[in-house]
Amino acid sequence: MTSIPEALLWCLSAGTAAALVLAAIVVRARMHSAALRQKLSTAEEQNSASLHANTELTARLRATEAEIRHLAGARLPDLTLALAHPHVPVRGLLDPRFAGTETDTALNAALEQIAEAVTKERERVDAAAQSTLRGATTTIQALLYQLQTQLQAMQHRYDDPNIAQDLLSADFLNEQALRRIQATGVVCGAWPGLTREDSYLAELVVGATSRLRGYERVQITNQLRDPIAVVARAVEPIAITVTELLANALHHSHQELPVSVTLQQGNRGASVIIDDYGVGMHQEELQHAAKLLSGDENLLLTQLGDPPRSGFAAAGQLVRQYGYRVHIESSPYGGVRAIVYIPGDPLLTMLDENTQPMSVMAPVPHRSSAQDRGTLPTRNPGHSVSHTPAPAPAPLAPPAPDPADLLGTASFGTAGSPTAGSPTAEYPAAESPAAGPFAGPAAGSAPGSPPGFTAGPAAGDEPELPRRRRRKPVSELDQTAARSEPQSTRTPEETASRWAALQQGTESGRAAAQQSQPPRSTEGNPQ
């Protein structure tokens, strides 16, 4: 009886132990399951983060690829166009999220390197093109000068008035081509192509005017107090600059409107002021023109437009080389005002009007009030001032030859010293030494010839060099009377007739000179 409870006790003990073990196993299993669930949750979170990061990386990669395609397809073409046209904007990033990042820095670095490479290549190609054009324009310019000399020789060789008129027209067309070639050569780095003597500023402006179509519209007012001249090395550059500014004024104004040119003298230099009444310029155009005329930057041929406009660019190159200045602004008359300022040191000088008179084609200079008091101040090259009694008012001098009659000759087509084989620029074309030995007014002048020319010296007389006649000051009454007289308009037939008479006088004068003197080595050109 006593053994049964013990067995039960042992059974109960064994069951309790088993239950405890099972409970421990269950607790451990639950803890392991919880750990597994936590690990699974962490793994799921990591997997989700990995998927998100992978998605972002894929999107960033695609955005980077899109930026590269945008760089190649849009930004680089904009950059190459902006290098030629600075007003064209270059587009920025396609995705603003890349701003300030390493990708943005790398793309900008690529743009800078490409811009530098393209600029260097453009400059190299442009330098080669300028070198080619410089050589070509130099050759063509020399040929055009030879053609000019031949045309002038033919003008004195043939007596037919129709041929003379055609030769004048051909000579003027040759002058137009010569001006364009000269400006193109200067833009490409060539020198102007002519060496001249010291020339009066007024003569220089008249010579520049005669190179242009519509020269008759240019009205020149000489307000210079002294006989100011431009030094030899700067005569042709300043003439080119004034010519291009006048060409711009004539081209952009109506064909019936005048272009006013005023010569002013200051304390430290002289100015040529050009005013037109044309369409004017916008502010952007004025800034671009001022940039070209300043000569501060090297220009490429591709920056001159299509077709290239080389006038202002050539003037800017000469401004930088010779030291004068050009200012351009809106004119009070609605058009454009251009001012060429020539500093007295070192580009201006004084000439003695007694030994080197000014051409009769130059505008009459403005004199000081000393002329009204009976004395006229004159300056010699040494800048000493002397007072001489003023001459008594003389009757109106015979009219000077019409510029239309003399158009195309070297004296009107250029300014300063002459070219080889052409009449000197100081003489009108009809008074040039190449035209023959002419003296002043005489009763033996050829019929229909311009006033002041004779048919040449008689046989046995010593030929004289041509003489210029200065315009004498006239009173206001004389000027009023002259304006009240009817002005005769010279027809082309009358012009041709006078030119033929002049040539006949030239031939007779040469024949008389050859009979009285031994033959010279250079035929037709007095030494």
Tell me the per-residue pLDDT of 250-271, one tens digit each, with 9 for 90 and over: 999 999 999 999 999 999 999 9
Q: Which two tokens stand for residue 33?
A: 């399951």
Confidence of residue 232 (pLDDT cuts 50, 70, 90): very high
Average pLDDT over the chain, rounded to an integer: 75
pLDDT digits (tens, 9 = 90+) for 308-346: 888 999 999 999 999 999 999 999 888 999 999 999 989
- Residue-level pLDDT at 4: 61
For β-strands 348-350 and 228-230, DSSP reports them as: antiparallel
Residue 228 pLDDT > 50, yes or no?
A: yes
Cα–Cα distance measured from residue 174 to residue 66, given in angstroms and rounded to the nearest whole number: 59
H/E run at residue 516 = helix 492-516
Q: Phi, psi at residue 221, to the nearest 5°?
A: -120, 120
Rounded CA-CA distance 423/425 in Å is 6
In angstroms, the CA 241 to CA 264 distance is: 17
The pLDDT score that the predictor gives to residue 453 is 35
pTM: 0.59
Separation of alpha carbons 409 and 213, rounded Å:
14
Comparing 22 with 281, which gets the higher pLDDT? Answer: 281
pLDDT at 366: 64
Q: Which tens digits make up the pLDDT trace of 361-411?
A: 888 876 654 444 333 334 333 333 333 333 333 333 333 444 334 333 333
Q: Is pLDDT at 40 greater than 60 in this prediction?
A: yes
- pLDDT at residue 404, as a whole number: 37
- Computed on alpha carbons and rounded to an integer, the radius of gyration of the chain in Å comes to 44
Any alpha helices (H) in 338-382, and if so which ranges?
344-347
Q: Look at residue 376 in the predicted model and tell me its pLDDT.
A: 34
Q: Is 275 helix (H, G, I), strand (E, B) or coil?
A: strand
Res 492: pLDDT: 61
Residue 482, pLDDT above cutoff 50: no
Burial label for 488, CB within 10 Å (0-12, 13-18, 19+), is exposed
Look at residue 19 in the predicted model and tell me its pLDDT: 83
Lowest average pLDDT, out of 36-40, 228-232, 468-472, goes to: 468-472
- For residue 159, the one-letter residue type is D
The per-residue pLDDT for 48 is 87
- For the ranges 9-13, 49-53, 128-132, 361-365, the lowest mean pLDDT is seen at 9-13
pLDDT band at residue 70 under the 50/70/90 scheme: very high
Q: Which two tokens stand for residue 222?
A: 């000489």
| Residues 76-116: tens digit of each pLDDT | 999 988 887 788 899 999 888 889 899 899 999 999 999 99
Comparing 247 with 295, the larger pLDDT belongs to 247
Top-confidence residue, 296 or 376: 296
Q: What is the 3-state secondary structure (H, E, C) of 43-80?
A: HHHHHHHHHHHHHHHHHHHHHHHHHHHHHHHHHHHHHH
Residues 138-162: tens digit of each pLDDT: 999 999 999 999 999 998 888 888 8
Q: How many CB atoms lie within 10 A of CB 383?
A: 9
Confidence of residue 15 (pLDDT cuts 50, 70, 90): confident
Query: For residue 380, what is the DSSP state?
Result: -
